[in-house]
Amino acid sequence: MPKPYSTLSAAFPPSPTFTNAHLPSLKNRVYIITGAASGVGLALAQMLYLAGGTVYIAARSVARCQEGVDKILKQTSGQKGGVLKMMVVDLADLRTIRGAVDKFLAEEERLDVLFNNAGVMTPPKGSKDALGHDLEIGTNCLGPHLLTSLLEPILLNTAMMPGMSAGSVRVVWVVTYLGASPLEGGMRLDGKGEPVYLNKFMENYFQSKVGCTWLTDYYAKRLGPKGVMSVSIHPGLMKTDLQRHVSALMRLAMNLFLKGTDYGAYSELYAGFSPEVTMEHNGAHLLAWGRLSALPPHATEGLKSKNEGGNGNAELFVNWCNNEVALYK
């Protein structure tokens, strides 16, 4: 049974117990990593590539995808690897996602793990995605939701292939340290289920990541009975491009305790591959650098209906997400 959520443990995790050294051969296995042109996504992509996997570097432009591929090839020069491919998809523009998925499906017959790794944090106030949604909600929730929905068929088909064990096909939702801003109810929604923009520093980002845990629960219930596992993970506190919008002084303070991106990749490896994570843990929340945990109370409150002692916000939010992406499926 997962341990109760601990703010101290989430912020200061013990050493990782599952790393790239524990990976089996990933030859003939296929992976998509969003936000893989830099940061944790890039580190993860390199690890999967060196293990023999076919790895899709998913990023918002050809230039960004190529940048990620070139970095990996340069850093692994002389080493045997798998296959690197590009997926040009802008999660801040729902109109780009269907085409990217169609191209992927034309090339591949399987998808073993989808890592919803990309995200945006604290952009300038008033930032919007291409369709006018708040940028953090659009990029962190709506884009990955549509991408996952469109990839459902190939995930389910992969889970049914001979030799595939239940739970080996996974969707990993990368979230954050949810104990930092415990907003009552998890998210603040309007009457339609749309998140209300929050002005307090990082609070809007935190509520977008609570939304990701609710989407994790949605897909766990939707795909779990057919053998596809969904989990969310706080990958740890690291130096990444996510901090590009915070002040120089804040970055300096954060760098005193932030880890390198390999550590975040270990967290995602644990979520995507560890044998400790089984179908029993479908829908679970994980912590850095790879541990089972319960969600904090403000997030679980939304997952429960009012009759169950919660507020039902998760259902409202997921229904809103479904309505917003329906036109782009």
Angle at 181 between CA 179 and CA 182, to 5 degrees: 70
pLDDT digit string (tens) for 199-224?
998 999 999 999 999 999 999 999 99
Residue 202's identity, in one-letter code, is M
Give the strand pairing for 169-174 and 30-34.
unpaired
What's the residue count for the chain?
329
As a whole number of angstroms, the distance between CA 232 and CA 20 comes to 19
Residue 229 C-beta-side C-alpha neighbours within 13 Å:
24
Judge whether 186 and 118 are in contact, CB under 8 Å.
no
Query: Which residue matches tokens 């959520």?
Result: 5
Which one of 4.10.520.10, 3.20.20.70, 3.40.50.720, 3.40.50.620 gives the CATH number of domain 13-328? 3.40.50.720
Judge whether 321 and 142 are in contact, CB under 8 Å.
Answer: yes
Please indicate whether residue 205 is annotated as part of the active site: yes
Q: Residue 53: in which H helix or E strand, if any? A: none
pLDDT at position 242:
53
* pLDDT at residue 63 is higher than 60: yes
Going by pLDDT thresholds of 50, 70 and 90, the confidence category of residue 13 is confident
Mean pLDDT of 65-81: 98
pLDDT (0 to 100) of residue 12: 76
The stretch 161-165 carries a mean pLDDT of 97
Active-site residue, selected from the candidate residues 49, 177, 209, 263: 209
The DSSP bridge partners found for residue 285 are 232, 293
Q: Which of 49, 205, 266, 270 is catalytic?
A: 205
Report the percentage of the chain scoring pLDDT > 70.
Answer: 91
pLDDT of residue 182: 76
Extract the runs of DSSP E, i.e. beta strands, from the chain.
30-34, 54-59, 83-88, 113-116, 169-174, 228-233, 285-287, 291-293
List the chain domain ranges.
Answer: 13-328
Q: Which residues contact 63 (CB under 8 A, 6 or more apart)?
A: none
pLDDT at 301: 94
What is the average pLDDT across 124-144? 98
Closest alpha carbon to 36 in 72, 80, 82: 72
Contact in structure between 286 and 231 (CB atoms under 8 Å)? yes
